Each structure stands twice: as C-alpha cells, then as structure tokens.
Amino acid sequence: MVTHHLCLLRPTILTLPIGLRPRLPTVASYHRLPHLRLLRPLCAAAGGAPPGGVDGGKRLAATSSSLGAAVVDFARSNFLPLALITAVALGLLDPTLGCLAHKYSLSKYSTFGIFLISGLTLRTKELGAAVEAWPAGLFGLASILLFTPFLAQFIMQIKFFPHEFITGLAMFCCMPTTLSSGVTLTQLVGGNTALALAMTVISNLLGIMIVPLSLAKYIGAGAGVSLPTEQLFKSLVTTLLIPIILGKVARETSKGIAGLVDGNKQGFSVTSAILLSLVPWIQVSRSRSLLLSVQPKAFALAITVGVLLHFALLAFNAAALHILSCLEQRGESVFERNEYARAVILVASQVSLYFD
C-alpha cells in the first residue's frame, strides 16, 4: 500500500540546491551528438524522422509544393498547346472514340460552342473598336483571300514524291482562315476578339465564292474539287453566325450572365481550348491509317513545308502591318495598335484544315 503522495517521490537530484544540480542536455546539444548524426540516414531510410529532421522535412515539403505550383502554372499558361498535343496523341494511339465522335458530327457542335462562348464574352466596346479598325480588317481579308492563295502556284513547283502532298498543300493555301483557332488564340493573347470574329466570318462566307476560282487559277481544273455552295453556306450560318448572335444577345439581356462570364474568364478560355482540341483529335483519328501508311521522310518533309508556309505568312503580315502603319501620317495608326495587330496577324496567318 502506498503511504506517500506520488508528488513526494521526487528524484534526489531535484532536492539539491540549484547551483549544485548537473546541467541537462538541451535539444540543440542533443542533435549535435556525433553518434546521432550517424543515425540520421538510417532513420530517413526507415521512413522515420531523424533528430532535427523536422526542419528538413519542412524544406522538402516546401520544395515539392513549389515544384507542383510551377507545374500547375506552366500547364495553365500553356493549356491550349498541351491540349492540342494531347488530342493528336490520343488520335494516333486509339482512333476508336475519335471516329465515333466524327460519326455524330461532334466537331460541328464543338465549333458551335466556341462561337457561343465568343458571343458571350464579346463586349460592346470591342464591336465599336472593330468598326474603327476596318482598314486593318480589310487588309486581313485581302491577305487571307488573295495573298495566301497566290502562294499556291509556287508550292506546286516543288518536286518530290509523293506529289499528292504538294497538291494538298497548294489546296491548303486556297482555303480561308480557320473557323475557331484564330478567334481562340486572339482571346488568349489579348487581341480584339470582335475584329477576329469579323474576319473569320466574312472570309469564310466570301470563301464559298472565291475558293473555287483560286483552285481553278493556281492548281488547275484537274484538281477534282467541287464545293457544295448551298450546303457550305448553311453550315457556316449555323456554326458561326447563329451562336455568336445567341451569345451576344444572352450577354446583353441578362446582367447575371454577363457577370458570370466576366468573373470566370479563365474557365471559359479553358472550355474553348478543350472544344478546339476536339477538332484535331477527330481529324487525326479519322486519318490514322492513312498517316501511318505514309513514308516518314515524305511526311516529315510535308510537315516542314507547312510550318515554313505559316512562318512566311506570319512574317508577311507583320511586315505589311508595320509598313502600313509607317505610311499613315495622321495620329496613331490602327495598324500599329497591339490589339488590332494581334488579331490580324493571328487570323490572317492561319489556313483552315478543312472547308466545313
């Protein structure tokens, strides 16, 4: 039986005077003991926290957190190219879903969604600015419908096998600008979206009449290409004009919708990028067997010519805008304003993969 209170059972060291008590080791001195330093790698290998390893763990966690944040920031700022690369890779690896999406015309719905988002995000002041920049827009249309098809005759002079690639690239030059990627890229770089939309819609509508003439002039009547004019016109109206109008009307008639769109710009940009990536995914899935049957050397050469073509268009449009801005004497030229120049250069330097 315990006859003393537990608090009375103290070590004898505590009963000594303070000056005679031995000094206990502190935590810091405990960590500096040589035999414990030797045990730290063993503790780390065993998954435990060695003495003094709390700070090291914090530093490791901070490094991992900063690395993860850097990866997320990179993916966020380069979401569109990453989405396009992923779409092409998926189409090459397994074309089943892409072919199924083509069967149900998913690409048309994705284009409808892109232009619906464009209409929702379109501000009225951007429309006024686009009207003000009509000279820049007129130059962009001339570059798309006149200068780019003019390059087709030079591409036809390139001689290498197979010749079908050369004919395809020449026909590629005769097409109008892309339906959706030009507008999406203009939004991402801060260009005037209304001007990009106007050039896209007008060039594709005029292209119904101009493309057959360009094909006959620069490639020849034997190209074997015929365009269903009425069907193309209906398709452009339903996939371009109607969604833009619906989006703009919804924005102007509902302040709630306008506030929702303005407060979630990044989310709508990501959605547009995803919808845009569906197009190459479906096209690559459809053409996978044909792409794999082509000789790698010929395919690489055709890709190189296509890349050089786009660089040539970028250089021409940028240089032409700079010359036009120097020729205009009065005040600030519309050709040198960044938001107009970005829209014109991006939209006029792209060519549609397919005219539908």
25 cis-preceded (ω within 30 degrees of 0)? no
Count of Cβ atoms closer than 10 Å to residue 168 Cβ: 13
Cα 278-313-350 angle, rounded to 5 deg: 20
pLDDT of residue 90: 92
Cβ neighbors of 326 (< 8 A, separation 6 or more) are none
Spell out the CATH class of 76-288+296-348.
mainly alpha
pLDDT of residue 26: 52
pLDDT of residue 304: 83
Query: What span, in angstroms and rounded, lies between the C-alpha atoms of 130 and 150?
Result: 27
Query: What span, in angstroms and rounded, lies between the C-alpha atoms of 71 and 8?
Result: 61
Query: What span, in angstroms and rounded, lies between the C-alpha atoms of 27 and 321?
Result: 71
Give how far the C-alpha of residue 295 lies from the chain's centroid of Cα atoms, to the nearest Å. Answer: 29
pTM of the model: 0.71
Q: Show me where the domains of the chain are located.
A: 76-288+296-348
How large is the angle between the packed helices 181-189 and 106-121, nearest 10 degrees?
A: 30
Which of 299, 279, 288 lies closest to 352 in space, CA to CA? 279
Q: 262 is written with which tokens? A: 């303005």
pLDDT in tens, the chain (356 residues): 445 444 444 444 444 455 555 555 554 454 444 444 444 443 444 444 444 455 555 566 667 677 777 777 777 778 888 888 899 899 989 899 999 998 888 888 998 998 999 899 888 888 888 888 889 999 999 999 999 988 888 888 877 656 777 787 888 888 888 877 888 888 888 888 889 989 998 988 888 888 888 888 887 654 555 667 778 888 888 888 899 999 999 999 988 998 999 888 888 888 988 998 898 899 889 888 877 877 777 778 778 878 888 899 999 999 999 898 888 766 667 888 888 999 999 999 988 755 44
Q: 146 is written with which tokens? A: 């006149």
Cα 312-236-127 angle, rounded to 5 deg: 75
pLDDT of residue 157: 81
